[in-house]
Amino acid sequence: MKEKEVVYVVSDSVGDTAELMVKAVASQFNGGEVEIEHISYVGDKSDLDNVLDSAKESRSIIAYTLVIPDLKQYLDERAKVEGITAVDLMNPLMEAFSKQFNKDPKREPRLMRKLDDNYFKRVAAVEFAVKYDDGQDVRGIQKADIVLIGVSRTSKTPLSMYLAHKRYKVANVPLVPEVRPPEELFQISKNKCVGLVITPDKLNEIRKERLKNLGLKVANYAELDRILIELEYAEKIMKRIGCPIINVSNKAVEETADLLLAMLKKRGVGFRE
Task: List, for residues 162-194, the tens digit of each pLDDT value.
Answer: 999 999 999 999 999 999 999 999 999 999 999
Most confident stretch, 39-43, 148-152, 205-209: 148-152
Whether residues 209 and 93 share a domain: the answer is no
Per-residue pLDDT band for 13 (boundaries 50, 70, 90) equals: confident
Per-residue pLDDT band for 32 (boundaries 50, 70, 90) equals: low
CA–CA dist 36, 49 (Å, integer): 18
Which of 74, 109, 144 is the C-terminal boundary of a domain?
109
Whether residues 139 and 234 share a domain: the answer is yes
- Chain centroid to Cα 47, Å, comes to 32
Whether residues 150 and 61 share a domain: the answer is no
Whether residues 78 and 190 share a domain: the answer is no
pLDDT at 115 over 70: no
Binding site, by residue number, is 150-157
Binding site for ADP, by residue number, is 150-157
Range of the domain at 87: 5-109
Per-residue pLDDT band for 110 (boundaries 50, 70, 90) equals: low
Whether residues 130 and 25 share a domain: the answer is no
Tell me which of 24-33, 52-61, 195-204 is least confident.
24-33
CA 126, 127, 128, 132 dihedral sign is: positive
Q: State the average pLDDT over residues 109-115.
A: 62
CATH number at residue 123: 3.40.50
Whether residues 125 and 39 share a domain: the answer is no
pLDDT score at 273: 46
pTM beyond 0.85: no
Which of 109, 142, 176 is the C-terminal boundary of a domain?
109
Tell me which of 61-75, 86-100, 108-122, 233-247 is least confident.
108-122
Distances (CA, A) of 227 to 37, 223, 262: 68, 6, 29
Residue 247 forms beta bridges with which residues? 197
H helices present in the chain, as ranges: 16-26, 45-55, 69-82, 91-101, 111-131, 139-143, 156-164, 200-213, 224-241, 253-266
Which of 109, 129, 149 is the C-terminal boundary of a domain?
109
Whether residues 48 and 138 share a domain: the answer is no
The total number of structural domains that make up the chain: 2
Helix, strand and coil percent figures for the chain, each rounded to 5 = 55, 15, 30
CA–CA dist 16, 114 (Å, integer): 14
CB atoms within 10 A of CB 35: 12
pLDDT score at 27: 85
CB atoms within 10 A of CB 107: 12
pLDDT at 1 over 50: no
Contact indicator for 99, 44 with CB cutoff of 8 Å: no
pLDDT at 112 over 80: no
Whether residues 48 and 157 share a domain: the answer is no
Q: How many residues does the chain have?
A: 273
Q: State the average pLDDT over residues 45-70.
A: 89
